[in-house]
Amino acid sequence: MSKDTYSDLRRGPSVGESDLAPPPKEIIAYELHGNCYLNLTWRCTLRCSFCPKFKNIWTVQGYDLRLHHEPEPEDILDAVGDPPRYREIVFCGLGEPTMRLGVLMEVAGTLKRQNANIRINTDGLANLLYGKDITPRFKGLIDTVSISMNVQNRKLYEQYCRPGLPDAWPAMLDFINKVKTQVPHVIITAIEGLPDVDIQECRDIASKLGVEFRIRHLDVVG
Ligand code: SF4
């Protein structure tokens, strides 16, 4: 992969600007199931074939998550309001939150000082993206990391998730091994309903890695 392509992944949107007509009011934080979800970016290191945003669907549980700019830490903290109100504060998207690692860490630090319980939902490719192990930065700040493994092997991962970086599958598995030494709770998820995805094999991978496993359902967002 060329350096330019890496730069593009780290800088630019992975969907066309024309898809990003601003909604009436941008939603940076939204509440679901007693949790507060944070919408940091639309950018991704993957282009999952099942992703709703590639069908121009940006609505999650009634919240329109289109952004026309990426929020700054103060915008995000203002949008959260009172952190103790929530069971968890979840860095999510409709994009990959670790693509804004500096902002994520700054916001997480402020929230943790207010005793928030913090989760990151991620594709687990941050170490590959940044070319180093970033998981020690999570220690003491992040309570849970949930990694979207999605499928049970590299072939299906490349078929469905269409990574923009080479060797993404082994890098994601390595990320799981590293992050579980830094945070108390690690979950990997897979998608039930995608053809050829074997949920039992996914569960077995989680068991071998010594992390929790959860099922997500195809076409159910949120
Ligand atoms: S990682 Fe999530 S937001 Fe990004 S393309 Fe895949 S499904 Fe969409």
Q: What is the pLDDT of residue 15?
A: 45
Q: What is the pLDDT of residue 62?
A: 87
Identify the residues whose C-beta falls under 6 Å from ligand 1.
44, 46-48, 51, 53, 93-96, 123
User: Which residue among 50, 53, 165 is best mutated to probe the pocket of ligand 1, counting the most ligand atoms within 8 A of its Cβ?
Assistant: 53
Say whether pLDDT at 176 is over 80: yes
Distance, CA 51 to ligand 1 centroid (Å)? 5
Closest C-alpha residue for ligand 1 atom 3 = 95
pTM: 0.90
Show the domains of the chain with their CATH numbers: 3-217 (3.20.20.70)
Say whether pLDDT at 161 is over 50: yes
Say whether pLDDT at 33 is over 80: yes
Say whether pLDDT at 41 is over 70: yes
**DSSP states along the chain:** --HHHHHHHHHS-SS-GGGGPPPSS--SEEEETTEEEE---S--S---TT-GGGGT--EETTEE---SSPPPHHHHHHHH--GGGSS-EEE--SS-GGGGHHHHHHHHHHHHHTT--EEEEE-S-HHHHHTS--GGGGTTT-SEEEEEEESSSHHHHHHHH--SSTTHHHHHHHHHHHHTTTSSEEEEEEEETSTT--HHHHHHHHHHHT-EEEEEETT---
Q: Of the ranges 11-25, 35-49, 57-71, 192-206, which one carries the lowest mean pLDDT score?
A: 11-25
Mean pLDDT for the stretch of residues 217-221: 69
